[in-house]
């Protein structure tokens, strides 16, 4: 009987050990939680002037001349990769009143003019990095003989001037 008792004790102890091991192996592990993180970004399709134009300078105009006075300058632009420029535009200038006007240093005297942009549309941008392609845009200005023929003369440091803000559009 003693053998049966010892055998039963061993079986009971073995059963408890196995149950304990099973509980240890099957018990949940409490570790830090995890969660997915979604990351997004958007890149604007823009065009920007990257090298400003020099002054559009008509120089000294002879009011007795019969031809239009013209001047030209250029600026450089870049566009976002995959963005195509549509057209350059401007705000009409500081002295706009139905048309672009240069204002004389002596207040109240104006000289009408027009500007046109060329090579400003259809440029496919490659981004703004150092090696990215850029586009040179020409600005051509005109003052007609009818506009300058009776304009107030300038003396010394006097001049007609205006400031126009250029926008390049994607």
**Average pLDDT taken over every residue of the chain:** 89
Q: Looking at residues 68-93, what average pLDDT do you find?
A: 97
Q: Looking at residues 127-135, what average pLDDT do you find?
A: 95
134 vs 30: which has the higher pLDDT: 134
Of 9-23, 104-118, 150-164, which gets the smallest average pLDDT?
Answer: 9-23
11 vs 82: which has the higher pLDDT: 82
CA dist 166 and 92 (Å) reads 9
Q: In angstroms, how far apart are the furthest CA atoms of the chain?
A: 140
CA dist 113 and 107 (Å) reads 17
Q: Which of the four pLDDT bands, split at 50, 70 and 90, describes residue 32?
A: confident
The radius of gyration computed from the CA coordinates of the chain, to the nearest angstrom, equals 40
Look at residue 8 in the predicted model and tell me its pLDDT: 47
In this structure, the dihedral spanned by the alpha carbons of residues 63, 66, 68 and 71, taken in order and rounded to 10 degrees, is -60
Q: Looking at residues 54-78, what average pLDDT do you find?
A: 97
Report percent pLDDT > 90 for the chain: 81
State yes or no: pLDDT of 4 exceeds 90: no
Q: Looking at residues 70-79, what average pLDDT do you find?
A: 98
Record the pTM.
0.77
DSSP string, 35-59: ------------EEEEEPPPP----
Where is 13: in which H helix or E strand?
A: helix 2-26
Contact between 103 and 162 (Cβ < 8 Å)? yes
Domains annotated for the chain, with CATH where assigned, are: 47-169 (2.60.40)
Which letter, b or e, does each residue of 112-143 get, where b requires 16 or more Cβ atoms within 10 Å of its Cβ? bbebebeebeebebbeeeeeeebbebebebbb
């Amino acid at each position: 009987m003693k053998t049966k008792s010892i055998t039963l004790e061993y079986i009971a102890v073995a059963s408890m050990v196995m149950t304990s091991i099973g509980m240890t192996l099957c018990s949940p592990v409490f570790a830090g939680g995890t969660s997915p993180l979604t990351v997004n970004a958007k890149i604007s399709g823009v065009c920007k002037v990257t090298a400003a134009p020099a002054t559009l300078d008509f120089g000294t105009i002879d009011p007795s001349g019969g031809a239009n006075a013209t001047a030209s300058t250029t600026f450089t632009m870049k566009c976002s990769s995959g963005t195509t420029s549509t057209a350059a535009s401007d705000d009409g200038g500081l002295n706009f009143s139905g048309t672009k006007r240069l204002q004389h240093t002596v207040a109240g005297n104006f000289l009408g003019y027009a500007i046109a942009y060329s090579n400003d549309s259809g440029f496919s941008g490659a981004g703004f990095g150092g090696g990215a392609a850029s586009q040179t845009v020409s600005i051509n200005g005109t003052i007609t003989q009818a506009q300058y023929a009776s304009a107030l003369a300038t003396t010394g440091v006097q001049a007609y001037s205006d400031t126009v803000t250029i926008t390049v559009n994607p």
